[in-house]
Every structure is written in structure tokens, then in C-alpha cells.
Structure 1
Amino acid sequence: MVMSEDRAEADGRLVGSDRVLALLIELARRPDGASLDDLAVALDSAKSTVHRALGSLTRSGLATRESLGRYSLGDEFLRLAFAYQESRPEAARVMPALRRLAERFGETAHYAVLEGGDVVYRAKVDPAVGSVRLSSSIGGRNPARVTGVGKAILAHQLSTTAQAMKWAREHPVEQRTPNTLTSDKRWAEDIARVREQGFAVDDQENDPGINCIAVRVVTPSGEGALSVSALAYRTPLSTLIDAVEEVRAVAASIV
């Protein structure tokens, strides 16, 4: 007996286009690829139904079947994603500024926006040499509380300590590093400093060994923040703070 889609949805099972989309997301989480068995377990679906969904994705080029029966995202998916990212007006506006910052400091420059309790990275430029793997990626998220870009935006939105405390209570954060400000009170005090000085820092609060300076920017697309994320041993936080006026000038060049 075939279960109707309405019944399947009521039971919490993936059906039709939902299954295809869930499969696409699952493949994106597996850069090394995954077998049919792995995907069926991850989606809690029969192998035959997952295989049909994979057929739809592979025919469109959004997935590819590799050796040993493993599946991964296809080149067409990557082409579409990168083409879309590069053509977004927001990215086009901030990329020249990010390139200038990456070249000036020899470190990674980011542009991010706030979504709920997270920041989402919309653009990123690594230095020509000496780049390291950070926890950020285009489209990726990090808790706003532990990032310079997040604090730069929130300091403008949370105009009082009471507002900052309320926001902090609603968005608790885990101890990601020894420097993470898990105390709501200390975080609210930090936001007050950001508001007063006009820039934010991440003193190894999100990634060990990585510090950051960030300033808020407003573009025709909306509000965001620009940052320089640096290896602490190579570019100390004090060096970034001393150069904050340069970062502000680059941010002001975005039109």
C-alpha cells in the first residue's frame, strides 16, 4: 500500500520535492561524498526512494556519482552557487573593499550580516599568501555574540545596557574558547564599549588564535559589518586596533 503525501507529511517523513531538497542539503554537508546507504540512513528513507531523488539531482548536474558508488554535489551546483554569489549587488559592492583590506593586512577580510542570533558571511577574501582555515565560509554562520562583525552590528541595534542584557539572555552561547564572553553582564559591557568606540573586536572569542576587528557598514542592500580576521601571533589585536581608522576609511568607500 502506497502512503499518500499528506499522510507521510503528517508522520514527519520526507516526500517528493522535500526529499530532493533534503538530499541536496545532506550532500552539501559531505564534501567527501556519501554512499546510497549513508544517505538513506541520514534521511530516514528507503534506499529506493533516495535513489530516485539522486537520479533527479544527477540528471540536472546538481549531484554526481563518483567511483565506488559515492555521490557528491555536482559541478553545475557549484557553478550556479558561485555565479549567483558573484552577481549579487551586495557582494559586488563590498568585494573591492575586502580585497584592499586583505592586501593591506595580509589577513582574511569578511563582510557579514545579522540573521537572528547569528551572523551570515556574505563575502570573504583571503590574503594572497599565508591564509589559514577559519570557521567562516560564504553562506556560513557563527553566533553573533562571539564575532566582531556581530558585535559591530548589535552595538548599533542595542542602544542600552538593558537591551543588550535582554538580547544576551535570549541568545546564550557556549564556551567556544577560554576568551568567550559567556557572562551576559560582561557581554553587555563589551557592547557598551563597542558603541562608544565605534568598532568591535573579537579577542580569540570564536576561534583560538584568531582575533578580529570589525566596523558596521550600511549599503543600499542593508546593514552589515566589515572585518579583518588575523592570526594573533602574526597580527596582534593591538596592531589591528591601531589601524582602525584605515579600516573605517575602507568601509566608507563602499557605495
Structure 2
Amino acid sequence: MPLPADTIDQAAPGKRQAAGTQTLLRGLAAIECVATGTTDVKGIAARLDTPRSTVHRMLNSLVAEGYLHHVPYKGYLLGPKLIQLGMKALEQRPLVALARPHIEELARRTGDTVHLGVADGGEVFYLDKIPGTRGLEMRSRVGLRMPLASTGIGKAMMLGLPPSRWRELHAAVMATADGASDRPAPAPWPKYEKAMTASLRRDWVLDLEENEIGVRCVGAPVRDISNQVVAAISVASAVPYMPDERMTELGPVVRATADAISKELGWKQDERATRHP
């Protein structure tokens, strides 16, 4: 029995809305595929479980609007409009704008690479990076995500968490660490806990090649007006430039820069004695 005309009219807008939402989400998923290295129609179609003809039309539309760029015989790249939107997104994050002069000065002072990041679940999300002057290439980049428990920035942000959470984050990294990769496993839990407890007292942390072989970091947390850890910074360099003695010297320097950024966010110096969880 056919539906009454008024029922059809009422149902149609909802169906159109659902279809439009599905198309939007599929387009965003295609962009994410390109961002993570799947750049050909066949690969994108497989990841989206969508017919190639549909994916091809969608990609053409994204290219036409500037969200993607197509290189013949090579595939798709992120387009100029996404670069513009990414810059706007960074500009709208007051943390990045407030922190930038401080981390630039820290990079100039140390000659090393300086990072700014925030926590996103159990991961670090890198917001900014000032390259050092030593010619060292490392895999960190703006937009990268890495485990909290294996990075200098991540461990610095963990200082704002109850120590009871540390083991959970440590276990998550241990479960995914691969001894054959360039991200070795962190120290066993008893040693890791001891190091984090020492870091809590001095308010800065060390990354001794736990995230990337050949790279050491010193990190410190950034706090806001409510005394909560909202970000962290780190100074990173190759092992030859980061002997134990220099890392010990850098700790208070990195913490001082983090404190300067914290003051920009409304944090008060006299809260240091009570700011640990």
C-alpha cells in the first residue's frame, strides 16, 4: 500500500539530510585517508568501502573546491584550502599565539628543537614546533599524535594527573611497543614510576630515547588560571647534545619557560607549592 503524500513529504527532508550527512562524512574520511598516506583512488575506495566511481567523483569535487590537489600518475595531496584552514585553526588557539614567543626564545637560547603540545586522550597532539639549529631531523611535526607515556611532552602533562593514572598510560604504551621499531618500550613500571615521582617533585621530566631512538628531551607542564595542566613544552636534541649533565641543567630552564607561558594563561607563581595532584 503506498504511503500518503503528506507522509512522503515529511519523510523526504529527513532522508535528504541523512544522505547529506553521509556524503559529508565520507568526504572528510577521504581527506583523512590522503592525510595519512593513502593517496590513490583504489586505496581510498578500499578504506572507505565505497565504489571507485563514487570515490572518484567525490575526489574530483574536493579538488575543484581546493581541499585536495591531484598530481597525475602520483595521486592526491592535501590542497591549499586545508593549509589555509589549518593556519586559521592555529591562529584561533590562543595557547599557540601566547606560547610562540617563549618557545622561539627557548629554541634560540638552546639551539635545540622546541615543541608545544596538548593531551588528547592518551596521546600528545603537537601544536607547534620550532626547529633547532643543529641540523637534526626528527619525526615530530605539528598535528602528530604520540603516546603520552613515551614522550617528553606527554610525561610532563602526566604530572597533572593523579599518580594512579600513570600505570594505566604506561601499560597502554607497553602493550603497543615493538622492540624492532624506532619507538622502544619505556622503562619497566617500577623504574618508570620512580622516575615520574622524582619528576613530580622538581616539575620537569626526561625522555631518554623512549619515543625516538637517538633523541632525548626535557619537558615541563604548562598550567592555566585554574592551576590545571593544559599543555607542555619540551626541548629535544640528539643524544650527543644531550648528556645527563646538560639535561639536568636544562630542566629548570625549560620549567621557567613553561612557567612564563603559564603566567600568560593566568597562572600565579605562588601556586607552585600546591599545584601537584
- Quickly name the TM-score band, shorter chain normalised: 0.7 to 0.9
1:233 to 232, 240, 253: 240
Question: Which residue of structure 2 aligns with residue 245 of structure 1?
Answer: 252
Partner Cα separation in structure 2 for residue 24 and residue 16 of structure 1: 13
Letter aligned with residue 254 of structure 2? V
1:83 to 76, 83, 88: 88
Partner Cα separation in structure 1 for residue 165 and residue 40 of structure 2: 48
Partner Cα separation in structure 2 for residue 62 and residue 164 of structure 1: 40
2:141 to 137, 160, 167: 137
Letter aligned with residue 204 of structure 2? F
Q: Mind listing any 5+ residue stretches in structure 2 that lack a counterpart?
A: 1-13, 265-277
Q: Is the contact between residue 160 and residue 229 of structure 2 (CA under 8 Å) also seen in structure 1?
A: no
Q: Equivalent residue of 1:142, what SS?
A: strand
Question: Which residue of structure 2 aligns with residue 26 of structure 1?
Answer: 33
Greater radius of gyration (CA): 2
Q: 1:129-208 residue pairs with structure 2 within 5 A?
A: 129-159=133-163, 162-169=164-171, 172-173=174-175, 174=177, 175=179, 180-208=185-213
Aligned-pair distance for 1:100?
Answer: 1.0
Q: Equivalent residue of 1:206, what SS?
A: coil
40-49 or 108-117, which deviates more = 40-49
Partner Cα separation in structure 2 for residue 249 and residue 65 of structure 1: 46
Q: Is the contact between residue 151 and residue 194 of structure 1 (CA under 8 Å) also seen in structure 2?
A: no
Aligned-pair distance for 1:73?
Answer: 1.3
- Can you list the C-alpha shifts for 1:1-21, whole angstroms capped at 9, x where unaligned? xxxx99xx9xxxx94222111
Partner Cα separation in structure 2 for residue 141 and residue 215 of structure 1: 18
Q: Equivalent residue of 2:73, what SS?
A: helix
Distance 1:223 1:241, change over 3 A: same
What is the percentage of aligned positions where both structures have the same residue?
25
Q: Equivalent residue of 1:180, what SS?
A: coil
Distance 1:35 1:236, change over 3 A: same
2:224 to 213, 219, 226: 219
Distance 1:177 1:184, change over 3 A: farther
Q: Mind listing any 5+ residue stretches in structure 1 that lack a counterpart?
A: none
Q: TM-score, normalised by structure 2?
A: 0.77
Question: Which residue of structure 1 aligns with residue 48 of structure 2?
Answer: 43
Q: Is the contact between residue 117 and residue 143 of structure 1 (CA under 8 Å) also seen in structure 2?
A: yes
Question: Which residue of structure 2 aligns with residue 112 of structure 1?
Answer: 117
Q: Equivalent residue of 1:132, what SS?
A: coil
Q: Is the contact between residue 106 and residue 257 of structure 2 (CA under 8 Å) also seen in structure 1?
A: yes
Aligned-pair distance for 1:126?
Answer: 0.8
Distance 1:253 1:197, change over 3 A: closer
- Can you list the C-alpha shifts for 1:40-80, whole angstroms capped at 9, x where unaligned? 23322211110121122112100122223722211121122
234-243 or 108-117, which deviates more = 234-243
Partner Cα separation in structure 2 for residue 65 and residue 179 of structure 1: 37
Q: Is the contact between residue 112 and residue 226 of structure 1 (CA under 8 Å) also seen in structure 2?
A: yes
The structure in which a higher percent of residues are helix is 2
Pair 1:55 & 2:63 matched: no
Question: Which residue of structure 2 aligns with residue 125 of structure 1?
Answer: 130
Question: Which residue of structure 1 aligns with residue 7 of structure 2?
Answer: none
Letter aligned with residue 165 of structure 1? R
Partner Cα separation in structure 2 for residue 131 and residue 69 of structure 1: 30
Q: Is the contact between residue 200 and residue 215 of structure 1 (CA under 8 Å) also seen in structure 2?
A: yes
